[in-house]
Amino acid sequence: MIAAGAAIGVLGACAKAGVRREGSGVRETRVQPPDSGPGTPAPASPTPVSGPRLIVFLGTSLTAGLGLDPDQAFPAVIQRKLDSLGLPWRAVNAGVSGETSAGALRRIAWVLRERPGILVLETGANDMLRGLNLDSTRANLEALVRLARADDPGVTIVVAGMEAAPNLGPRYANEFRSLFSGLAAREHLPLIPFLLAGVGGVDSLNQADGIHPRAAGDRIVAENVWRVLGPLVTAGTEARGRRGTRGQP
């Protein structure tokens, strides 16, 4: 574990690694959670078969699109991709700036009220920046998956991988990376290897602070996500269509 003060001092290096420090404010999203505990039930009714299925992006300001207009954040770019392909899915941006994996765990039950068909988990970068114990981060990630499956065994969970700041050393970097790749392997989940691939450290794709992506950067992030998400969405749409032809819910 690294000290919190040391983590704050590596912001410039994080920009090169593609890891952004989150702001202290909360960006308004389409999902506004209460301060609920991780075991809080989510007794919402399932989305009707006739309506669009939901892709919920549970994340930090990387998802919320800190510093961008809402329609420039990558979930909105994904929505335009879905619309252009005529796919009956709706992207829900549930990103909150500054959130750690523990914060995501506190609001997962509320987020699951949306009844997602696909849940994209993007959390953990702030744990690294704040020097939190990675064993705790690992446990939180596992609990997020466990609670999502308990709520709906049929939900598809996608893990968004992240990278650590390079000056934290190769041992820490490997351990941090394995939080996401290891979770995906153990739980048999689709993995986005590195959410900010092709964006982190590229000055022209980041805002003036060198940390947060510009709109052009988030379009690349959306492509990183779509490479994994696209086949899942297409398969889910086809499966739903087959159920519909048999008159099943």
Q: What per-residue confidence (pLDDT) applies to 165? A: 81
Domains and CATH numbers, the chain: 8-21+48-242 (3.40.50.1110)
pLDDT of residue 10: 33
SS (HEC) of 43-84: CCCCCCCCCCEEEEEEECHHHHCCCCCHHHCHHHHHHHHHHH
Catalytic residues: 61, 209, 212
Task: Read off the pLDDT of residues 139-196 as tens digits, 9 standing for 90 and up.
Answer: 999 999 999 999 999 999 999 999 998 878 899 999 999 999 999 999 999 999 999 9
Q: In this predicted model, which residue has the larger pLDDT, 204 or 39? A: 204
Q: Look up residue 85 and give its DSSP letter.
A: T
Lowest mean pLDDT among 25-39, 99-113, 209-223: 25-39
What confidence score (pLDDT) does residue 210 get? 72
Q: What is the pLDDT of residue 14?
A: 41
Arithmetic mean of pLDDT over the chain: 81
How large a percentage of the chain has pLDDT more than 70?
76
The confidence score (pLDDT) of residue 115 equals 95
pLDDT at 74: 97
What residue type is assigned to position 227 of the chain?
Answer: R
Are 122 and 63 a contacting pair, CB within 8 Å? yes
Helix (H) or strand (E) holding 140: helix 134-151
Average pLDDT over residues 127-145: 95
Q: Whole-angstrom Cα distance, residue 84 to residue 112? A: 26
Residue 127 has pLDDT above 70, yes or no: yes
pTM, 2 dp: 0.79
52-92 pLDDT tens trace: 999 999 999 999 999 999 999 999 999 999 999 999 999 99
| pLDDT at position 241 | 56
Q: What is the 3-state secondary structure (H, E, C) of 144-180?
A: HHHHHHHHCCCCEEEEECCCCCHHHCHHHHHHHHHHH
Q: Given a cut of 60, is residue 4 above it in pLDDT?
A: no
